[in-house]
Amino acid sequence: MAKKGAAPWVGAHVGGGIANALARAEAIGATAIQLFGSSPRSWRATMPSVDAAKAFRAAREKSAVRAVFLHAAYLVNLASVSPDMYAFSTQSLIDHLKIAEMIGAEGLIFHLGSGKGGDREEAFAREIVAIKKILAAVPGKTKLIMENTAGGGGKIGASIEDVARIYHAVGAERLQVCYDTAHGFEAGLVEEYTPATVKKLFDAWESAVGMDALAAIHTNDSKTRSGSHHDQHENIGEGYIGLRGFVALAHEARLREKPWILEVPGFDNEGPDKKNIDILTNCFT
């Protein structure tokens, strides 16, 4: 049952790196955040200094932020047919997971990538081997979190079955899942989010991986239609999912205690803003 009156964890992807993320979160009223631990456009990760990591942990103690996630570099593709791309991707995730551990983040969220140009079974095998290697290379508490995708182009992770297959093959408590509302919609998991389709969808997630494995909800409207396989985020209520869709999602009791992270363009095109946070927060009432 949803806890009536409990404030939802509504948060956002924030820019500015480790030094500025918490202040930016506070400025828009976010109680959960996602940030890049290092440049998302580079293979090479820059590790924060021990002092910077310590400062982040201390600032977090005093802030209203209750959950912190890192997002992996855009280039990462553990399903890649290219041995170089595969090796760079594995190392990049090891480095970013180390940063997550250093700053005490709940986890590192990454996209499963695409096995385009190769055999799909082999792509799954590559994913599983790499994920085991990454977890073994970074001991600790921080989670490695796979995100569902919009599909298309040989992408892995567009279906609940894809995600569950990797989850069970790796079989590690530190491997978790992030559900992206836009990606699920674009992948065609639902034609629209209604109380009935949301229940059915999360019944399926629950039986596939269990609700404890769901670490966060990436909360995005979509510029494209259901089943488009075209990943384009939109501000909450401005896309094809629409406000009614988010009201249906917000009223699913199993999602109530999860961190909801916005990755939307923002009404001024400067990233997730207070207006999106307020609109989403209102969906819970």
**Residue 44 buriedness (CB in 10 A; 0-12 / 13-18 / 19+):** exposed
Neighbour count for residue 43 (Cβ, 10 Å): 16
Catalytic residue among 106, 127, 147, 234: 147
Active site residue 183: yes
Active site residue 218: yes
Active site residue 26: no
Catalytic residue among 13, 71, 126, 174: 71
Catalytic residue among 44, 74, 161, 278: 74
Smallest gap from residue 147 Cβ to Zn ion (A): 5
Question: Among residues 118 and 266, whose Cβ is nearest to Zn ion?
Answer: 266
Smallest gap from residue 81 Cβ to Zn ion (A): 24
Calpha distance 110→178 (Å, rounded): 9
Is residue 227 within 8 Å of 195, Cβ to Cβ?
no
User: What is the maximum span of the chain, computed from C-alpha positions, in angstroms?
Assistant: 51
Catalytic residue among 13, 96, 111, 126: 111
Question: Among residues 103 and 146, whose Cβ is nearest to Zn ion?
Answer: 146
Catalytic residue among 60, 162, 183, 240: 183
Q: Which residues contact 180 (CB under 8 A, 6 or more apart)?
A: 147, 148, 149, 217, 218, 220, 263
Interface residues toward Zn ion, by CB under 5 A: 180, 218
Smallest gap from residue 109 Cβ to Zn ion (A): 7
Catalytic residue among 13, 193, 233, 273: 233
Smallest gap from residue 218 Cβ to Zn ion (A): 3
Smallest gap from residue 121 Cβ to Zn ion (A): 26
Smallest gap from residue 168 Cβ to Zn ion (A): 22
Question: Among residues 89 and 220, whose Cβ is nearest to Zn ion?
Answer: 220
**Residue 36 buriedness (CB in 10 A; 0-12 / 13-18 / 19+):** buried
Active site residue 41: yes
- Nearest residue to the partner Zn ion, using Cβ: 218
Residue position matching structure tokens 């990233």: 271
Question: Among residues 174 and 218, whose Cβ is nearest to Zn ion?
Answer: 218
Question: Among residues 48 and 273, whose Cβ is nearest to Zn ion?
Answer: 273
Question: Among residues 95 and 180, whose Cβ is nearest to Zn ion?
Answer: 180
Instruction: Of 205, 217, 225, give the one whose Cα is nearest residue 181.
Output: 217
Active site residue 231: yes
Phi-psi group of 156: left, alpha or beta (phi > 0 → left; psi -120 to 50 → alpha; rest → beta) = beta
Active site residue 180: yes
Tokens representing 16 are 């500015």
Calpha distance 179→65 (Å, rounded): 20
Neighbour count for residue 128 (Cβ, 10 Å): 18
The residues annotated with a catalytic role in the active site are 41, 71, 74, 111, 147, 180, 183, 218, 231, 233, 263
